[in-house]
Structure 1
Amino acid sequence: MITVYGVPGWGSAISELMLTLADIPYQFTNVDGFDQPGPQRQTLQTLNPLCQVPTLQLDDGSVMTESAAVALMILDKRPDLAPAAGTSERKQFWRLLVWLVANVYPTFTYADYPERWAQDAPEQLRESCIRYRKSLYLWLESQLKATPYAFGEQLTLLDIYLCVMRTWGPRHSWFKENTPKLSAIADAVNTLPELQTVLRSNNII
């Protein structure tokens, strides 16, 4: 069985929800505190020297990291969780999935630990990252055309990303006021019966 090493509410929640949606069994190991010296960090480092969550140990003992790579792995088994191959929606799905990971994710890396990157001006870095992140979400809102999910009636793994990331800064009220389509997609995912246990364990609902 796959083991997901993560922290409730962190990026590992995306992997948990994607695996649950795809009906792929896994077990969760909480490594809360991994970002500081201690036993949790040591546990994670034995598998992933970069000490990141999520880190997945697969059935064969190999290690998988990077949420987009996890999504690709899941889609090998559940291609129905992305738009059909050869469609314009499929191309947009890949574009937005990679865009989220490449553009939005780094703003959390820098804003959550600004002292690592700008010791002389950590607050300025944090504030700049948050402003930039908001501008990215506004752009994403302009790309979302369908309802109830990003690609209409079909639920995809992109919707899982949006649901989890809405719980991170700048929080629900900002999204509801400034990106109502994104907020509505997250609300729709939050109603899915098969995800309720994982959503609650990650403090998403």
Structure 2
Amino acid sequence: MQKLYGAPGWGSAITEIMFSLAGEAYQLIDVEGFDRPGPARDKLLALNPLCQVPTLVREDGTVLTESAAIALVLLDENPQLAPAAGTPQRAQFYRLLVWMVANVYATLTYGDYPERWVSQAPQELQASTDRHRENLYLWLEAQAGDGPYWFGEQVSLLDAWFPVLVSWKPRHAWFEQHAPKIASIAHNISQRPELERVLRANQLLP
């Protein structure tokens, strides 16, 4: 069985949601605390020099990292979890999948641990990345439709991001006020019964 290295509430939760939407089996290897020195970090570093979650070890032993890459591999095996190939919606799926990890994740990489990157006034880096992330979400909100999911009635792997994103800064209350469409998609996907276990395990349910 493929092994997913992750920690509750981190980006690995997105991959867990994707696997659950696809009905794919996996074994979760909990490496909570990987962001500081210790056995969990050592275990993850042996597979991923960047020491990031998710890190996936496939059944054939292949190590796969990066949420977007995992999504695309999963899509190869579950084509129903994205709009049809060759459609404008499929192009948007690709765009937003890469947009999430290229833009939003960068603000978290630098803003959540500013002291790693600057020696003076790390709080200024944190504040500026927080503001930039909010602006990114406002742009994303402007792209959203009327739901219930990102692509209307069709559930896609892109929807797996929203329950997790709204739990990260700037948190649920901000999304409810400033990005209600994103908040609604997060709520709707979270109501799917096949996701209850994984959402609860990642502390993403009330």
Q: Do these two structures clear the TM 0.5 threshold for a shared fold by scoring above it? A: yes
- Answering whether residue 154 of structure 2 is matched by residue 154 of structure 1, we say yes
Give how far 1:36 is off: 1.2
Amino acid paired to 1:73: V
TM-score (norm 1): 0.98
After superposition, what is the alpha-carbon deviation per residue over 1:64-85, rounded to whole angstroms, capped at 9, x for unaligned?
0000000001001101100111
Alignment of 1:79-158 (within 5 A): 79-158=79-158
Structure 1 unmatched runs, 5+: none
SS at match of 1:8: coil
Q: TM-score, normalised by structure 2?
A: 0.98
- CA distance in 2: counterparts of 1:80 and 1:29, whole angstroms: 27
CA displacement, residues 49-74 of structure 1 (integer Å, 9 cap, x when unaligned): 21111111110111000000000010
Compute the displacement of 1:37 (Å): 1.2
AA aligned to 1:7 is A
Matched, 1:192 2:206: no
How much does 1:146 deviate?
A: 3.4
Partner Cα distance (1:149, 1:6) in 2: 25
Q: Please show how residues 1-205 of structure 1 align to structure 2 within 5 Å.
A: 1-205=1-205
- The whole-number CA distance in structure 1 between the counterparts of 2:188 and 2:140 is 17
Matches of 2:77 and 2:97 in 1, distance apart? Answer: 18
> What amino acid is the match of 1:104?
V
The CA deviation at 1:112 is 0.8
> Aligned partners of 1:157, 1:182: CA distance in 2, in Å?
15
CA RMSD of aligned residues (A): 0.7
**Aligned residues, how many?**
205
Separation in 1, partners of 2:138, 2:45: 36
How many Å apart are 1:124 and its aligned residue?
A: 0.2
- SS state at 1:47 partner: coil
Q: Distance in 1 between matches of 2:144 and 2:28?
A: 32
Q: What is the alpha-carbon distance in structure 1 between the residues aligned to residue 30 and residue 150 of structure 2?
A: 30
Task: Report the 3-state secondary structure (helix = DSSP H, G, I; strand = E; otherwise coil) of the residue aligned with 2:134.
Answer: helix
Runs of 4+ in structure 1 over 3 Å off: none
